[in-house]
Amino acid sequence: MAGRPSERQGRYAIYSGRRLINGIAAGLFVGVTGEAANIASARWLRAHHGDRIAVRGNNTHSVRELVAAGAGLSIFPCFVGDSDPRLVRVAQPIPELEPTNGSSPITRNVTRRRYEKSPTGLPP
């Protein structure tokens, strides 16, 4: 059905590159810096594996490239990780990042930030 989100659209899981080298074998993670560091999946990664983040990308695209090259593990939306032939899902989807009430963690974060920037704190 057009317009209906797929089952895995709002799900997140841990992925690695297909070639198990350096970071992956050591159980190291690739994090993200900048504004993307505030999304729910990045916060979850820091909270649960922050001591094992060995390298960080400037944005989500660079994180995906680093993971595909074997620099370590990271979290991606399942629709992104499953569709990239260079990545392999290494764990089940993360329950804490499951969407609730029809919104994804990204949507909730963007909405929250929009309200924080509003001078009244109310929706625009």
Q: Is residue 43 part of a domain?
A: yes
pLDDT of residue 102 exceeding 80, the answer is no
Query: Domain range for residue 30?
Result: 12-97
- Tell me the residue type at 62: S
Confidence at residue 19, expressed as pLDDT on a 0 to 100 scale = 78
Which CATH number is 41's domain given? 3.40.190.10
pLDDT of residue 30: 95
pLDDT digits (tens, 9 = 90+) for 11-70: 999 999 987 665 566 789 999 999 889 999 999 999 999 999 999 999 999 999 999 998
Task: Give every CB contact of residue 3 below 8 A, 6+ residues apart in sequence.
Answer: none
Give domain status of residue 114, yes or no.
Answer: no
62: which 2 tokens? Answer: 């660079």
The answer to whether residue 103 sits within a structural domain is no
**Structural domain contains residue 50:** yes
Identify the band that residue 4 occupies on the pLDDT scale cut at 50, 70 and 90: very low
- How far apart CA 48 and CA 32 sit, in angstroms, is 15
Q: How many domains does the chain have?
A: 1
pLDDT above 70 (res 122):
no
Task: Report whether pLDDT(114) > 80.
Answer: no
- Tell me if the pTM is above 0.85: no
Residues paired with residue 9 on neighbouring β-strands, in sequence order: none
Cα distance between residue 1 and residue 15, in whole Å: 28
Residue 100 has pLDDT above 50, yes or no: yes
